[in-house]
Amino acid sequence: MANNPSISIGVLTSGGDAQGMNAAVRAVVRSALHLGATVHAIFEGYQGMVDGGDRIRAVSWDDVGSILHRGGTVIGTARCPAFREREGRLRAAHNLIRHGIDRLVVIGGDGSLTGADTFRHEWSELVAELVARGEIDEATAQRHPALMIAGLVGSIDNDMVGTDMTIGADSALHRIIEAIDAITSTAASHQRSFVVEVMGRHCGYLALMSAIAGGADYVLIPENPPPEGWEDQMCALLRNGRAAGRRDSIVIVAEGASDRAGNPLNADYVRQVLEDRLGEDTRVTILGHVQRGGTPSAFDRWMSTVLGFDATETVLSATPESDPVMIGIRYNRIDHAPLMECVQKTRSVAQKIADKDYEGAMALRGGSFTEMFEVFRRMAESMPSVTPPTQPRRLAILHAGGLAPGMNPAVRAAVRLGLDLGHVLLGVRGGFQGLIDGRIEELKWGDVEGWTSMGGAELGTNRQIPTIEQFYSVGRALETQRIDGLLIIGGWAAYKAIYELHRERDRYPAFKIPMICLPATIDNNLPGSEQSVGADTALNVIVEALDRIKQSATAARRCFVIETMGTYCGYLALLSGLAGGAERVYLHEEGITLKDLQADVENMLKSFEGGRRLYMAIRNERASPHYTTDFLCRLFEEESQTRFDVRQDILGHIQQGGNPSPFDRILATRLATRCIDYLTQQLAEKSTECAFIGLSEGKVTLFPLKEMADMVDWSYRRPKKQWWLGLRTIVHAMAQPSKTTTHKNKASRSK
Ligand code: ADP
């Protein structure tokens, strides 16, 4: 693969812009240079390719510096009618060949990817015609027998079949949730209703996910229009919500929503219905282009970086026979799929909607989408008075471990669904000590109102794991409070505690109740779940801090050593390194050696000598017991010999703060729903099984508690398998222009 500067790849962004496109462009440029190829940016999408001239420019390492945090696309995008015509594509082919480009990374929507595919099919004919016209010679034609393509999907709608997420969708969700949170507070002040229209002509992803994350009352999406008479149902839900104590009502409408007969439903119609039937003061907010704007989320930055890296490797290793691929993310892993198959399936969703085959449209969206639609329906319909308790069971909820943003939305979902299923829900304040002390109260529907957007943990949490001496008191508390089932939402302490209680069941019969753990920790170090609630929020907080730290350093040549949390798990350090553009990441999983540090100092000096002004190293708090953050700073300072200065930033507890990100709210709601179902089922079956739940390969999965022992590294408090460790090499590729100074990847210590 590459190491040949005569191999040149082109990168362009096309169609609608999306946050994260810059991260992808940066990754393509740096990966290509890292791998020894030449890379050209094609400005203004296909228009730049058709126009040629200085719209196709070779780009250097530094040309893509400081763009990671910027929204939109710095290389521009455009709609280009000329590229739809053969003559336009002929000009484009000529312009590419002039620059020696026959490998392309195209970042755009289904239109752009279709254009790329057509171009590729025609390529040899176009080249032959250029020879026939005397515009290029035969030898040049023979050097470019085929066009090789990798496609990345840039689309805030998340409308492409074949990838779980498209570039920009998570950031758009951030913008929507920021707006909904703001609207909720004003709506609540006046007891108003709001109808919010979000983007999505053929895709209800943004509408559905923002409805879950924003705690909305009703949602209208294109793939699954509401049943006939939905207006009555919507009004009844809003009326019941008000009666139960809601001060705000929010309905989310996707721009492509319709009724089941295919008649478009717009926000204004919904407003009219609410005003006429409920007499509510109702306002409409159409979010429009705000959704495309702003800085990309941490997810859009790291995912786009990973995709850009992979796309570059893919086009560089492609042969003229290679089929074009679309590179996406499935279950947090890179996934290659035949480009046009994905485009065609995506188009067939739109066709199915047009044909009113809504079942078919939902099926193409996939199982998780259907599951989330059901989660939303259950959340929206769960009302205190809907299902009168028949055989009330007492379910207690408690937190254990460090604070994780998203704990509140998890409790809210559990309480509301639990009540809807006829249970009595008990909130334990202050973790296991609170249970022992009897700080337990019944939680009603209205008690968790507004908790969707709240950071922190209203029930309180701490890291206490009950000691052997406390087991008796814990058992007594479970008995005296007549607790039938326990949901523990938390981190390592929660998992360890349940594991211990489960082991002691024979000695303490009170522990023989169904219990389940829901992963909630910013560290993301729990078994059975690729993502824990809170980690995404923390990542966003860290990345925002890194942006500010970078800005603060514009005046000097400076090295920052930034310390992140995570205990022994390097997830936050590595992912924030990728998303924040760090040059080096120190993880406990790899350890730090003197030789590493020597190489780092050399790299640092080289990069400052080469004109760089900033070097950012991120160190996990437990990366090494001796090579501490302070030690690294002093070492670098000494070695710099005043050629640059060194500062340390220990980010500390801000990482646990902040309101939960959309992803964390959605994950919390999704997992809590399944936890309550699990406890309900165990109680119905008179089972006392215990489990932990998680997101594994994209699916909510339940693991029997006894499997925990085999899945974790007890001494370093992390799972034995950590999917994200595979991303380590990409940080390095983004930091080093050439292959010569590669760090070797050492074996994981966890093995
Ligand atoms: P998106 O890529 O976001 O779906 P568009 O559908 O507008 O956006 O496509 C962007 C550009 O891609 C178009 O302006 C055009 O230049 C090119 N393109 C789209 N469809 C085709 C096609 N069928 N053939 C050739 N070029 C196309």
575 and 624: one domain? yes
Contacts of 584 (CB under 8 A, 6+ apart): 577, 600, 603, 615, 616, 617, 618, 731, 735
CA–CA gap between residue 577 and residue 581 (Å, rounded) = 6
Grouping H, G, I as helix, E, B as strand and the rest as coil, residue 712 is strand
539 and 676: one domain? no
Neighbours of 277 (CB within 10 A): 15
Q: Tell me the pLDDT band of 188, cut-offs 50, 70 and 90.
A: confident
420-468 pLDDT, tens digit each: 999 999 999 999 999 999 999 999 999 999 999 999 999 999 999 999 9
pLDDT above 80: residue 5? no
**Which of 65, 115, 49 has its CA nearest to residue 41?**
49
516 and 560: one domain? no
For residue 369, is it within any domain?
no
For residue 411, is it within any domain?
yes
Ligand 1 pocket mutation pick from 85, 89, 112, 202 by most atoms within 8 angstroms of CB = 112
For residue 208, is it within any domain?
yes
Task: Please indicate whether residue 79, judged by its CB atom, sits closer than 6 Å to ligand 1.
Answer: yes
483 and 412: one domain? yes
Q: Tell me the pLDDT band of 388, cut-offs 50, 70 and 90.
A: low
Q: Tell me the pLDDT band of 582, cut-offs 50, 70 and 90.
A: very high
225-236 pLDDT, tens digit each: 999 999 999 999
Task: Please indicate whether residue 347, judged by its CB atom, sits closer than 6 Å to ligand 1.
Answer: no
Task: Please indicate whether residue 47, judged by its CB atom, sits closer than 6 Å to ligand 1.
Answer: no
* DSSP-assigned letters across all residues of 200-245: -SS--HHHHHHHHHTT-SEEE-SSSPPPTTHHHHHHHHHHHHHHHT
127 and 174: one domain? no
Task: Please indicate whether residue 48, judged by its CB atom, sits closer than 6 Å to ligand 1.
Answer: no
Residue nearest to atom 5 of ligand 1 (CA): 111
Can you give the pLDDT at residue 357?
97
Can you give the pLDDT at residue 3?
73
Q: What percent of the chain is predicted at pLDDT more than 90?
A: 89
Average pLDDT of the segment spanning 671-676: 98
CA–CA gap between residue 428 and residue 242 (Å, rounded) = 27
Can you give the pLDDT at residue 387?
54
Q: Tell me the pLDDT band of 390, cut-offs 50, 70 and 90.
A: low
Contacts of 536 (CB under 8 A, 6+ apart): 298, 299, 661, 663, 664, 667
From the CA atom positions of the chain, what is the Rg in Å?
A: 27
Neighbours of 14 (CB within 10 A): 30
pLDDT above 80: residue 585? yes
Average pLDDT, the chain: 94
pLDDT above 70: residue 717? yes
**Which of 605, 571, 595 has its CA nearest to residue 585?**
571
279-326 pLDDT, tens digit each: 988 999 999 999 999 999 999 999 999 999 999 999 999 999 999 999
pLDDT above 90: residue 508? yes
Which residue, of 634, 656, 678, is where some domain finishes? 656
Ligand 1 pocket mutation pick from 50, 77, 84, 91 by most atoms within 8 angstroms of CB = 84
Can you give the pLDDT at residue 78?
93
Structural domain total, the chain:
4
CA–CA gap between residue 17 and residue 108 (Å, rounded) = 8
The answer to whether 501 and 400 have CB atoms below 8 angstroms apart is: no
CATH number at residue 284: 3.40.50.460
Residue with tokens 């691929």: 325
151 and 223: one domain? no
148 and 184: one domain? no
The single-letter DSSP state of residue 725 is: G
Structural element, H or E, at residue 360:
helix 358-365
491 and 583: one domain? no
For residue 624, is it within any domain?
yes
The answer to whether 658 and 178 have CB atoms below 8 angstroms apart is: no
Distance from chain centroid for Cα 141? 43
- Ligand 1 centre to CA of 117 (Å) is 11
Task: Please indicate whether residue 84, judged by its CB atom, sits closer than 6 Å to ligand 1.
Answer: yes
512 and 388: one domain? yes
Which residue, of 291, 307, 324, is where some domain finishes? 291
Grouping H, G, I as helix, E, B as strand and the rest as coil, residue 249 is strand
CATH number at residue 444: 3.40.50.450
Task: Please indicate whether residue 112, judged by its CB atom, sits closer than 6 Å to ligand 1.
Answer: yes
28-73 pLDDT, tens digit each: 999 999 999 999 999 999 999 999 999 999 999 999 999 999 999 9
For β-strands 440-442 and 424-428, DSSP reports them as antiparallel
For β-strands 56-58 and 193-198, DSSP reports them as unpaired
609 and 585: one domain? yes
pLDDT above 90: residue 6? no
CA–CA gap between residue 419 and residue 393 (Å, rounded) = 10
Average pLDDT of the segment spanning 592-605: 96
The answer to whether 415 and 445 have CB atoms below 8 angstroms apart is: yes
Contacts of 696 (CB under 8 A, 6+ apart): 528, 529, 530
| Cα→Cα distances 469→24, 435, 473, Å | 54, 15, 8
Q: Is 157 annotated as catalytic?
A: yes
Q: Among the atoms of ligand 1, which is closest to the Cα of residue 47?
A: 16
Task: Please indicate whether residue 109, judged by its CB atom, sits closer than 6 Å to ligand 1.
Answer: yes
First-to-final CA distance of the chain? 30
Average pLDDT of the segment spanning 558-566: 97
Average pLDDT of the segment spanning 552-561: 84
Distance from chain centroid for Cα 440? 35
For residue 197, is it within any domain?
yes
- Ligand 1 centre to CA of 730 (Å) is 30
pLDDT above 60: residue 751? no
Which residue, of 613, 629, 656, is where some domain finishes? 656
For residue 693, is it within any domain?
yes
- Ligand 1 centre to CA of 45 (Å) is 10
For residue 736, is it within any domain?
no
The single-letter DSSP state of residue 591 is: -
- Ligand 1 centre to CA of 115 (Å) is 6
Residue nearest to atom 25 of ligand 1 (CA): 115
CA–CA gap between residue 594 and residue 597 (Å, rounded) = 5
Residue nearest to atom 9 of ligand 1 (CA): 111
Grouping H, G, I as helix, E, B as strand and the rest as coil, residue 427 is strand
Can you give the pLDDT at residue 750?
31
Structure-block tokens of residue 731:
């940080």
| Cα→Cα distances 672→169, 416, 438, 497, 681, Å | 24, 10, 24, 19, 14
- Ligand 1 centre to CA of 21 (Å) is 17
Its domain, for residue 177, covers: 169-291
587 and 445: one domain? no
pLDDT above 90: residue 186? no
Residue nearest to atom 26 of ligand 1 (CA): 115
Can you give the pLDDT at residue 738?
61
Q: Exactly one of 51, 102, 110, 157 is catalytic; which is it?
A: 157
For β-strands 101-108 and 56-58, DSSP reports them as unpaired
Task: Please indicate whether residue 280, judged by its CB atom, sits closer than 6 Å to ligand 1.
Answer: no
Structure-block tokens of residue 19:
């946050």
pLDDT above 50: residue 696? yes
- pTM reported for the whole predicted model: 0.95
519 and 540: one domain? no
121-131 pLDDT, tens digit each: 999 999 999 99
For residue 723, is it within any domain?
no
